[in-house]
Amino acid sequence: NPNKAKAFQLLVYAYIYLKNNPQYSDREVIAGNFSFKNLKEGLLTVAKSINRKKETIIINKAVLNNVEEIIAEVIDKIMNEDFTKTTEISRCKYCDYRSICNR
C-alpha cells in the first residue's frame, strides 16, 4: 500500500537493525521518526488503527517475521514479474533507471 510506504520503510530499518544486532532481538521496540514540520509532536511512531484509535506497533519477533515475509514477496515480485514501462513519460524525468528503458 503506497499510503503506508513510510511506515513500512521504518519497519524495514528496524528489521535490518535487529537482524544485525541480535543481542536486541528478544526486546520489544518501536519505530518512528521526527517531523521537522511538527517537532512539537515528538516521535511519530509506526502505528495501526484499532477501533479508530491509533496504537503504536510494538516490534517483536512476530512483527519481524511478518516484515521478512513481505520483503521476500516484494523481491519475488521484482524478480519474477514482467516489467512494463509507464505510459506517462514525465515520470521518467528524474528516474535513476531511465537508461535501462532507453527513455
Q: Measured between alpha carbons, how far is 12 from 6 in angstroms, rounded to an integer?
A: 10
Q: Note the pLDDT of residue 29.
A: 94
The C-alpha torsion from 31 through 37 and 42 to 43, rounded to 10°, is 0
What is the pLDDT averaged over residues 70-98? 90
The model's confidence at residue 25, banded by pLDDT at 50, 70 and 90, is: confident
- What is the domain partition of the chain in residue ranges? 2-101
Burial of 73 (0-12, 13-18, 19+ CB in 10 A): exposed
Q: Note the pLDDT of residue 13.
A: 96
Angle between helices 5-20 and 61-80 (to 10 degrees): 110
Does residue 1 sit in helix, strand or coil? Answer: coil
Q: Measured between alpha carbons, how far is 12 from 2 in angstroms, rounded to an integer?
A: 15
Q: What is the pTM of this model?
A: 0.76
Average pLDDT, the chain: 91
Residue type, 44: L
In tens, the pLDDT along 27-72 reads 989 999 999 999 999 999 999 988 889 999 999 999 999 999 999 9
